Chain A
Amino acid sequence: MTATAGTRRRRALRVGPVSFPVRARVTSCYLAVAVVVLVLFCLTVSIGEKAVPLRDVAAVLLGGGSPGDRFIVGELRLPRALVALGAGLALGASGALVQSVTRNPLASPDVIGILSGASTGAVAAIVLGATTAGGVLGVWGATPFAVVGGLVAAAAVVLLSWQGEVGGMRLVLVGIGVAAISTALTSLLLVGARVHEAAQAVVWLTGTLDGRTWTHAWPLLVTVAVVLPLLAPLQHPLAAMALGDAVAQGVGVRPGAVRFSAVGGATVLAAVAVAAAGPIAFVAFVAPQVMMRVIGSATPPVLGGGLAGAFLLLATDTATRTLLPVVLPVGIVTVALGAPCFLALLLARRRLLAS
């Protein structure tokens, strides 16, 4: 194909049957963010109440190190940092998928009730004692409950707002209603809970990375490692669908199937993050929007949103842990930072909405 005037020839990367265009700006941005995330990850493991030099961190990771360092790094900081990394990836990618499907940046999983639904499921698990049970249930803990809760909420939002197409502000309003109902259900579950479990759930409900252990990290990391690579390629059909279903069908996209897998996958990702760290709000809203502006893409990028989410969550957690004079759950800080961003975007768009 010859390059016509005004278009540039794109280089493509081909691996067997898979091929996709390589965009210099996107690739370099992703690499840069990935490097920053890696540096932040090492930093957050290294600094804290007792600083562990990076050399000693490396030694622990390679199986050596002093017993004290092994405990601090291996049991306290590494699971926490991994949960932050995994939850950030999951929430950011999930936000990008939902925002792409609804073609509405304001319809992020935080606002339309997916996080609330997953929280209701996870609180049910905590109250019913599933998190302290042994066997398979013990290993996966609240995760399956959160996934079921999230899927029920997502299905309710999509089905109740269905008008022959997904999207529009109706979905957002129905989502607000579903979020309110599931929040009330969560409170209802807490009424009957024993004091200890209720206290545990109340702190967890603000979204926290405190006291994360390997039992929180494993289900999250395994799910993200499996689901994220499956969902990242949806970027391209979703970008086509941004031009309308007819155009997308013209280039060989099946909009129904893409929507179904995007919303389902986004819900699973968000729910495992909620099960591991509680409903950390506004990461799913902010991350894809920031990355979209950085790389100059037309739709919220799935993988890029995940990377941005990992960066935001790691950075916020490290700052919360080390810079703030008080101990606060990270979820409170993300709301305090994310809510003004949301209002700013809403202000910029309200003229379009006030029809």
Chain B
Amino acid sequence: MIPPREVLGALFAPAGTDADVLVREARVPRTLVGVIAGGALGLAGALVQGHTRNPLADPGILGVGAGAAFAVCLGISAFGITSLERQVWLALLGALLVSAVVFAVGAPRGRQPAPVVLALVGTVVTALLTALTSAVLLLDSATITSFRFWTVGSLAGRGLDEAAVVLPFLLAGTVLAAGAARPLDAMALGEELAASLGNRLALARGLGVAAVALLTASAVAVAGPLVFVGLVAPHVARGITGPGHRRVLPLAAVVGVVTVLAADVVGRLVVHPEEVQVGIITALVGGPLFIAFVRRRRLASL
């Protein structure tokens, strides 16, 4: 525990004390990773819920995170890819592929994918990818030390280097997300109305999927697969601002950051001096909320 005054000192006038080193070398990078992961997932969740008009959509539940994790594991094990820049590309590829597959399977031609279909496809794809990830890790004992990292998201042991690598992807995803905000409001009125208002739906949807994949891949590359952050953050944001996507998207990112950082702090405190990975805490908090959303709504589209 470092008092706030010393933290401020470490940040702005470091004097090389133990506390300064701890803050600058361990706590700040860790927090930054949490900010990246939480912000990206909150934004991705708001986008995916808006595009599918599905209040239960979440990049974690849809298996996008599991896809990114599997691609990275395969890359490490089969091709010996250890440099983080290449791993991010792999995570991105896995996230894009899985998003495309889940949406293709979950959405009948010309109709909105039903919430339950997307959730089931995502669950099964996640199960499949998790099993394949386990297979890769069990066959290659060198990668098994990172087993937990790729099954449960964590902020530990990642730092500024990783954050710097994913930054361009994060920015690209954010820019695409900002561009996709306007058509989303029109799409909430229904596809035909949105098209007649002059929106190009195929383009908007393509940009949206790309943004979701970029943002989720960035989050997974720095923090592993985190579930339910992308589910909860948009719901909280909508509760505060109302349904307009131009306000929901940025606020969902902020709520995502707060969620991940709070979950990380809780995870570090509950079993001190051990620590619980942030992914476990978000699942424990998000799971009951998911059930509450299922119960509260009659699963009406957004």
Contacts and interface: CB of A to CB of B under 8 A. Distances in A.
Interface residues of A, number: 47
A187 B280 contact: yes
Contacts of B286: 180
Interface of B: 56, 61, 105-106, 108, 111-117, 119-121, 123-125, 127-128, 131-132, 134-135, 138-139, 147, 151-152, 227-228, 271, 274-277, 279-280, 283-284, 286-288, 290-291, 294-295, 299
Contact of A177 (B106, B117, B288): B288
Contacts of B114: 350, 353-355
A339 B287 contact: no
Given A173-B56, A176-B120, A177-B288, 6 more contacts: A111-B124, A169-B116, A181-B284, A187-B151, A187-B283, A332-B132
Give the dominant DSSP class at B's interface.
Answer: helix
A170 B56 CA distance: 12
A328 B138 contact: yes
The listed residue with most B CB atoms (<10 A of its CB), out of A111, A170, A176, A187, is A176
Contacts of B151: 187
Interface stretch (A59-67, A133-141, A211-219, A341-349): A341-349
Contacts of A174: 291, 294-295
B284 A336 contact: no
B131 A332 contact: yes
Contacts of A355: 114
A192 interface: yes
A180 B227 CA distance: 9
A238 B113 CA distance: 31
A354 B113 contact: yes
Interface of A: 106, 110-111, 160-161, 169-170, 172-174, 176-181, 183-185, 187-188, 191-192, 202-203, 206, 281-282, 326-329, 331-332, 335-336, 339-340, 342-343, 346-347, 350-351, 353-355
A183 B139 contact: no
Interface centre among B56, B112, B115, B127 (most CB of A within 10 A): B127
Contacts of B147: 202
Contacts of B280: 184, 187-188, 191
Closest 6 CB pairs of A and B: A184-B283, A181-B287, A335-B131, A339-B128, A177-B291, A169-B116
Contacts of A176: 61, 119-120, 123, 290
Contact of A335 (B56, B128, B274, B287): B128
Given A177-B291, A281-B127, A191 B271 contact: yes
Contacts of A172: 116, 119-120
Contacts of A191: 271, 274-277, 280
A169 B114 CA distance: 11
A11 to B, nearest CB: 41
Contact of B117 (A178, A202, A354): A354
Contact of A206 (B113, B134, B152, B274): B134
Task: Report which residue of B124, B135, B294, B295 has the largest number of chain A beta carbons within 10 angstroms of its beta carbon.
Answer: B124
Contacts of B132: 332, 336
Contacts of A106: 120
A181 B131 contact: no
A354 B127 CA distance: 23
A202 B152 CA distance: 13
Given A177-B291, A188-B280, A350 B106 contact: yes
A340 B295 CA distance: 29
Contact of A332 (B111, B135, B284): B135
B138 A173 contact: no
B63 to A, nearest CB: 11
A206 B117 CA distance: 25
A354 B128 contact: no
Contacts of A206: 131, 134, 138
A106 B279 CA distance: 27
Contact of B121 (A169, A332, A346): A346
Contacts of B277: 187, 191
Most buried by B among A161, A180, A191, A335: A180
Contacts of A202: 147
Contacts of A183: 283
A179 B291 CA distance: 11
27 contacts: A110-B127, A111-B123, A169-B299, A172-B120, A173-B119, A177-B287, A180-B283, A184-B280, A184-B284, A184-B287, A187-B152, A187-B283, A191-B274, A192-B274, A206-B134, A206-B138, A282-B127, A327-B139, A332-B132, A332-B134, A336-B131, A339-B128, A346-B120, A350-B106, A350-B113, A350-B114, A350-B117
A342 B126 CA distance: 13
Given A183-B283, A191-B274, A355-B114, A343 B290 contact: no
A253 to B, nearest CB: 28
A192 to B, nearest CB: 6
